[in-house]
Amino acid sequence: MKRACCYNLPCFNALYKDYQEELDIDFQDLFVHFSKENDVYMRKSIASSIHEALMLCKQEEDSFKLRECFRDLLEDENHEVVEALCQNLNHSI
């Protein structure tokens, strides 16, 4: 179930980002949480999609948590996670 959450998180982020406060959800926290999982598949899913969360951030929005998550994934010990992150590097920057 958690793997499915990681895979679908970017879609839910896009759909419900504007309703975070009233739904009491922080999508940045979810990205950070799932990026620290022991399961490589979950970290790889987050690494593959974090660029989408970064692209949804508005200019005035604080994206510190996502940037920190990005940095941690970049330093991941599993090369598949780092590779997944780097595939969308042009969108993340």
- Cα distance between residue 51 and residue 89, in whole Å: 7
Kindly give, in sequence order, each residue whose CB lies less than 8 Å from that of residue 14, ignoring residues fewer than 6 positions away.
Answer: 52, 56
Task: Report the predicted TM-score, pTM, of the whole model to 2 decimal places.
Answer: 0.91
Q: What is the CA radius of gyration of the chain?
A: 12
Listed by start position, the domains of the chain span: 2-92
* Mean pLDDT calculated for residue range 55-59: 92
Largest CA distance in the chain: 38
Please tell me the predicted confidence (pLDDT) of residue 92.
78
Lowest mean pLDDT among 13-22, 71-80, 83-92: 83-92
